[in-house]
């Protein structure tokens, strides 16, 4: 399943170069992941019921084109691949013209919330990768 959200670049997200600060893209992608989880019926509460957490362990991001204040950006999120406890979600951020502004692969791991160790991915999450 691919999801998308649209946001407007706010003044507080602009750096001294007059474009979106690089760290804000990570936040945009986090919003996209949260939306993806919710649409997959895997809310924070659902994970907690399963005693499972998700931890981001690696982000490989490519900055392709600058974005400026007031622009509308669309953040697309989709599953790429999964392992035993790790999985990769891809994010693509596009501007209103459809130009790719940034993209990333985000690697996360499922953990036992009490033991704080990796555990096999719950079936509910694994199904999203088929």
Catalytic residue among 15, 45, 99, 103: 15
Catalytic annotation on 99? no
Nearest one of 42, 32, 56 to 110, comparing CA atoms: 56
Nearest one of 123, 124, 98, 121 to 111, comparing CA atoms: 121
Nearest one of 120, 1, 128, 127 to 50, comparing CA atoms: 120
* Helix, strand or coil, per DSSP, at residue 29: helix
Number of residues written out for the chain: 130
Q: How many CB atoms lie within 10 A of CB 117?
A: 9
Phi-psi category of residue 124: left, alpha or beta, with phi > 0 → left and psi -120 to 50 → alpha:
alpha
Catalytically active residues, by annotation: 15
């Amino acid at each position: 399943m691919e999801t998308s959200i649209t946001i407007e670049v706010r003044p507080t997200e602009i750096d001294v170069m007059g474009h979106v600060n690089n760290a804000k893209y990570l936040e945009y992608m986090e919003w996209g992941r949260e939306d993806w989880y919710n649409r997959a019926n895997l809310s924070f509460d659902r994970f907690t019921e399963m005693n499972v957490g998700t931890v981001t362990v690696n982000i490989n991001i490519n900055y392709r084109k600058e974005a400026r204040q007031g622009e509308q950006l669309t953040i697309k999120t989709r599953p790429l691949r999964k392992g035993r406890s790790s999985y990769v979600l891809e994010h693509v951020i596009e501007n209103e013209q459809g130009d790719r502004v940034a993209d990333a692969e985000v690697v996360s791991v499922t953990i036992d919330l009490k033991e704080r160790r990796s555990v096999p991915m719950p079936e509910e999450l694994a199904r999203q990768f088929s």
